[in-house]
Amino acid sequence: MIPTTTVRNTLQIDYLPAELAVTLANDPSVMALIHFTGSASSSQAGGVEITVGLPQLNTQKRVEVWRTQHHISWHQRENITFCTAGEMLFGHVLLEEGSSPNLEHISEQAYRSLLDLTAQQGYPHLIRIWNYFPNINQEQDQQERYKRFCIGRHRACAKSEGFEKRLPAATAIGTHSAGFLIYFLASKTPGQQIENPRQVSAFQYPIIYSPKSPCFSRAILKAWHGQSDLYISGTASVVGHETRHLNDGMGQLQESLHNIQQLLKEASQQTGATVEILQKRMLLKIYLRQVEDLAPTDAQINSLFEPDTPRIYLQADICRQDLLLEIDGYSSFPPG
Ligand code: 3EB
């Protein structure tokens, strides 16, 4: 039932039918089992299972499963639950915001503790990180919460010199349920930063988007033993630093896919793999602000990617008010 024979040595990420979740939760090869369900009143986490409070729009519900053939050892340090397996450390932090939240402070603390932890454990290179919290577009003390998050994250990341060259690929998305949730992959050895020539690097954005720039790379390429992985950040309809195609979901989709295509080209130039190979092995996570964009988005993705490309659709708030959608990508391919 569960395709265990296909589990890669280092890391195998799949979007599997949600019915398998109970079995997977007890499978010793599973490092992370991520549920996406808007029925959760708050995001949840503990041990191998993480629940992100975002409604899943797929008709056949899926769970995201991270598996490895390495031995997994589990740990808890203060707020961080994590496991190590070979060259990888996977961890998550879930914080309550309380009645008078200070998101700047919460973000800074969360990032400081995960940066400290990964360094102490000997996995100092952040590869990929997901950030989920509610009311991302709402103002809190005259500042949008996404910007407050960026300020706190920047305070923690900018502590080390040359940090712009060591930023992970990232996603920052608004949920409709309580809890500030981060999960991440770190490694003993560095990945390779990929930026998009069509876009200003996020860490160099002008201050209109945030008083302190968003600390992430457009993509990270990582060579593990026996496989190479491309982790593509949440990618939206941004050209230069500006949002394109205002109020036009399908226009934004085209532009986002163009940006992903460009990242695949950049990554392809750094590896032996062709754009076609990278694209053929993609997993996509698609965040839609408007449910009505689901059918046309899915049709468009079917026409550009392999029809069996695994994908999860989530209803979510995107970090800029004017962005209607955003797409995460992951591709794993044989090393060159
Ligand atoms: C953009 O291109 C869209 O702040 O971590 C995408 C991915 C975006 C990650 C983040 C923000 C973040 O600027 C927004």
Interval 115-129: pLDDT, tens: 999 999 999 999 999
pLDDT at 83 over 90: yes
At 71-81, the pLDDT tens digits run: 999 999 999 99
Beta bridge partners of 285: 312, 328
Report pLDDT for 3: 57
The answer to whether residue 6 is domain-embedded is no
The answer to whether 293 touches 250, Cβ cutoff 8 Å, is yes
The answer to whether residue 4 is domain-embedded is no
Beta bridge partners of 185: 90, 128
Closest-lying ligand 1 atom to the alpha carbon of residue 216: 5
Dist. CA 311–CA 170, nearest whole Å: 18
pTM of the predicted structure, to 2 decimals: 0.97
The answer to whether residue 204 is domain-embedded is yes
Residue minimizing CA distance to atom 14 of ligand 1: 319
Dist. CA 324–CA 173, nearest whole Å: 12
Closest-lying ligand 1 atom to the alpha carbon of residue 202: 13
pLDDT at 216 over 90: yes
The answer to whether residue 189 is domain-embedded is yes
Q: Which amino acid is at 124?
A: P
| All residues at 6 or more sequence positions from 239 whose CB lies less than 8 Å from its CB, including other chains | 198, 199, 255, 259
Closest-lying ligand 1 atom to the alpha carbon of residue 318: 14
Report pLDDT for 15: 98
Dist. CA 183–CA 181, nearest whole Å: 7
Report pLDDT for 5: 55
Report pLDDT for 165: 95
Strands 325-333, 227-235: pairing is: antiparallel
Q: What is the mean pLDDT of residues 297-310?
A: 96
The answer to whether residue 313 is domain-embedded is yes
The answer to whether 135 touches 124, Cβ cutoff 8 Å, is no
Report pLDDT for 8: 85
Report pLDDT for 100: 81
pLDDT at 259 over 60: yes
At 104-117, the pLDDT tens digits run: 999 999 999 999 99
Closest-lying ligand 1 atom to the alpha carbon of residue 218: 7
Dist. CA 335–CA 316, nearest whole Å: 34
Dist. CA 307–CA 138, nearest whole Å: 37
Dist. CA 277–CA 293, nearest whole Å: 28
- Which stretches within the chain are classed as H helix? 21-25, 103-121, 145-157, 249-270, 275-280, 294-304
How far, in Å, from the CA of 58 to the mean position of ligand 1?
Answer: 24
Say which residue, 44 or 13, is predicted with more confidence.
Answer: 13
For residue 101, name the pLDDT band (cuts at 50, 70, 90): confident
The CATH number that applies at residue 186 is 3.30.1330.40
Dist. CA 221–CA 232, nearest whole Å: 9
How far, in Å, from the CA of 74 to the mean position of ligand 1?
Answer: 30
pLDDT at 41 over 80: no
The answer to whether residue 273 is domain-embedded is yes
Report pLDDT for 42: 73
For residue 279, the enclosing domain spans 12-333
For residue 4, name the pLDDT band (cuts at 50, 70, 90): low
Q: What is the mean pLDDT of residues 59-85?
A: 96
Closest-lying ligand 1 atom to the alpha carbon of residue 146: 4
How far, in Å, from the CA of 26 to the mean position of ligand 1?
Answer: 34
Residue of 128, 210, 233, 287 to mutate, ligand 1, most atoms within 8 A of C-beta: 233
At 130-152, the pLDDT tens digits run: 999 999 999 999 999 999 999 99
Q: What is the mean pLDDT of residues 165-175?
A: 97
Residue of 319, 325, 328 to mutate, ligand 1, most atoms within 8 A of C-beta: 319
Q: What domain count does the chain have?
A: 1
For residue 21, name the pLDDT band (cuts at 50, 70, 90): very high
The side-by-side arrangement of strands in the sheet containing 227-235 is 192-194, 219-224, 227-235, 325-333, 282-288, 311-315
Residue 325 is given by DSSP the state E
Segment among 2-6, 12-16, 179-183, 225-229 with least mean pLDDT = 2-6
The answer to whether residue 3 is domain-embedded is no
What residues line ligand 1, using a CB cutoff of 6 Å?
131, 170-172, 202, 214, 216, 233-234, 236, 238, 319
At 217-246, the pLDDT tens digits run: 999 999 999 999 999 999 999 999 999 999
Report pLDDT for 39: 77
The answer to whether residue 1 is domain-embedded is no
pLDDT at 46 over 90: no
Report pLDDT for 287: 98
Residue 217 is given by DSSP the state B
